[in-house]
Chain A
């Protein structure tokens, strides 16, 4: 008795098939990329596309097998393909059931830096009026632990959170106390420039397993140009703080983010080299966002999405070369996209979620007690726009906050599967809604996608990733590693 049915059982059934839902996008005059219901993809020619739709695809061809195995077509009796697509869709959206994971506490707006692209208005160091109070923090914690999510991440942001470290300590201790009965998977992160880090702060972070998320814009001259502070020593303080933090907390407990300023555009190799020199195993080549001082100082308008894509392409190609030489180094934005493109998992990155991650993926407790649907929402508030304010800690219950029309309306109105252009786009399964960005740029949460810099940026990055994967199998292997990090 054999374990498997004979080969003939698996062979194509005379080419009689029906289409499963799929979308396509041209890559060139002759080629398209097609994506199925969950974003699994294949490259085929236009002739093959037409043959597929017209039911003329040769059942003995490789393309036929590819289309059948990746759920673009099914033969009579192929029941598994529909069930598998349902299962994968369910997996993809499974994070939604857990609801909010990331809870951001803006413990102060004060900061010792005065970065020209800063997305939140900063105040001078001695303005205690811009600090969150203990009373506000307690009320915020009450909302945090109403989240049904078994994993809770509390992230401290500013300004510079270390300028109100007493409150950070209070929140950590109280959260852990509450969690003795709640038993959540509780994680803490402080977003800090590291310029004010002390041994006492690091000792506290060590005893409570607090991660540090910092900022590094590149080599010393570029970093200090982008991130001015008294003494013009931001980079030196970062390096010194990084060394101390690594020896106190462990090498991997500190991550860094970069922001692409106009001065960065010709320096991507220098920036990547600086990350390598300081021992990081990856970089997030991050574009500027259209909020706060980035708008006021005109930094945001200083380069367009096409220029940023050139910067990104040069950086990505350089990073690929580094990987080919045997050094594992990840570009994190690509890794987020590739996780969506090459696996059934959704990384839960707020900007790339549909429905939008606002409120669902993250919620922000501002220093003054107001509650916002995302970090970008509170950045808008610092520009005087409270459109995405979804409550206040003094007056709103958990139910008030998460059923607020200021949250539910934008989530529904920006849903990409019913948005013009998005609903037909082959890249939609890998994309996100980002209502706050579109509201900031276009005045409505949907925006007009052909004019949207968000759309152009995602389209540009996706096409770049597809092209590199397609033309070089070694790159595909590298990308698979990025998408399946442990």
Chain B
């Protein structure tokens, strides 16, 4: 089956990360087509009967990954600041 995602809503990074989390249940090929990311989804052997459930969960995971990306980007500077405090006076900093 195919799932079309709007690139303005879903980034390629978040889509890839969501797809990775389902690697044991779904094979997901991601292809950028115009303004969309087209996901071609096939069940991994043994998961055919639960395909709908897995796809529904994959859609939720897409939103979670997008949120994770937002948090990660917004906190990158302070994360580096914490690490700078952590490793200060250890001789490891450049």
Contacts and interface: CB of A to CB of B under 8 A. Distances in A.
Contact of A82 (B22, B23, B82): B82
Contacts of B78: 18-21, 82
Contacts of B20: 420-421, 450
Contacts of A89: 82-83, 85-86
A424 B85 contact: no
Contacts of A451: 23-24
Interface stretch (A22-30, A113-121, A131-139, A433-441): A22-30
Given A19-B74, A450-B24, A424 B68 contact: yes
A446 B23 CA distance: 15
A23 B85 contact: no
Contact of B86 (A20, A90, A420): A90
A49 interface: yes
Nearest to A52: B71
A86 interface: yes
B86 to A, nearest CB: 4
A83 B22 CA distance: 37
A53 B70 contact: yes
A49 B72 CA distance: 14
Contacts of B85: 82-83, 85-87, 89-90
B64 interface: yes
Given A86-B82, A89-B86, A450 B68 contact: no
A451 B64 CA distance: 20
B22 A21 contact: no
Contacts of A93: 86
B10 to A, nearest CB: 16
A143 B60 CA distance: 52
B70 to A, nearest CB: 6
Given A19-B71, A21-B75, A21-B79, A26 B23 contact: no
A37 interface: yes
A83 B60 CA distance: 35
A85 B71 contact: no
Contacts of B74: 18-19
A83 B84 CA distance: 10
Contacts of A82: 78, 81-82, 85
A170 interface: no
A421 B21 CA distance: 7
A307 interface: no
Contacts of A87: 85-86
B64 A22 contact: no
A470 interface: no
B75 A19 contact: yes
Nearest to A92: B86
B83 to A, nearest CB: 7
B2 interface: no
Nearest to A91: B86
A448 interface: yes
Contact of A23 (B24, B68, B87): B68
Interface in B44-65: 60, 64-65
A23 B75 CA distance: 11
B67 interface: yes
Contacts of B88: 86
A83 B78 CA distance: 11
B68 A24 contact: yes
A26 B86 CA distance: 29
Contacts of A23: 68, 71
Given A21-B75, A37-B82, A85-B82, A448 B70 contact: no
Contacts of A421: 17, 20-21
Interface string A74-104: 0000000011011101100100000000000
A85 B23 CA distance: 34
Given A19-B75, A23-B68, A49-B67, A448 B23 contact: yes
B82 A53 contact: no
Contacts of B81: 82, 86
Contacts of A83: 85
Nearest to B76: A21
A37 B79 contact: yes
Given A19-B74, A20-B75, A24-B68, A424 B17 contact: yes
A87 B83 CA distance: 10
B71 A53 contact: yes
B64 to A, nearest CB: 7
Contacts of B75: 19-22
A87 B90 CA distance: 13
Given A19-B74, A22-B71, A450 B23 contact: yes
22 contacts: A19-B74, A19-B75, A20-B78, A21-B71, A21-B75, A21-B79, A23-B68, A24-B64, A24-B68, A26-B60, A26-B64, A53-B70, A85-B82, A89-B85, A424-B17, A424-B65, A448-B23, A448-B24, A450-B24, A450-B25, A451-B23, A451-B24
7 closest A-B pairs by CB: A86-B85, A450-B24, A21-B75, A89-B86, A21-B79, A86-B86, A450-B23
